[in-house]
Amino acid sequence: MRPAFSLNGLFLLAACLLAASPALAGNLTFDNGQTAWHSTQCTAPVPPDSVIGAASDTPGNDMNSLVAQHNIYVDEAQKYMDCISQEADRDQVMVNQAIASSAQHIVAQTQADVERAAAPLRARQEKMEQRQHEEP
């Protein structure tokens, strides 16, 4: 007999594991049936003043400065996206391992419970079979 597990139960288990596990970097939240992950190690860059918003009479040196700031922002945004991807990948691996490990533990525990519950029945059946063999 296989125990039934609900998806909500596994999500609850994952949430408990995440709350108890300091090794995970991001935060996993459950709200109104929705799950969201949030980075705790990556900081989003702040966009610079827009080159497009600059006045048409902006001096060339100022425009060059705005373009340089924009290019720095683009580099920082790429680093931020890389950081998010790496943090999320690490957390996903850890969560998957934690869920699988916990599910295996629950299955093993349930199987042991089933075996313990069946032991008295087996013992009674063996006694009955033994008596049947002893009777002439």
Mean pLDDT for back-to-back runs of 10 residues, the chain (136 residues): 52 55 74 91 90 80 89 96 96 92 96 93 88 77
Q: What is the C-alpha separation between 88 and 60, in angstroms, rounded?
A: 42
Q: Tokens at residue 108, please? A: 């093993």
Q: Alpha helix (H) ranges present in the chain?
A: 7-20, 60-134
- Boundaries of every domain in the chain: 7-105
pLDDT of residue 136: 64
Of the candidates 106, 83, 90, the one whose C-alpha atom is nearest the C-alpha of residue 16 is: 106
SS3 of residue 96 by DSSP: helix
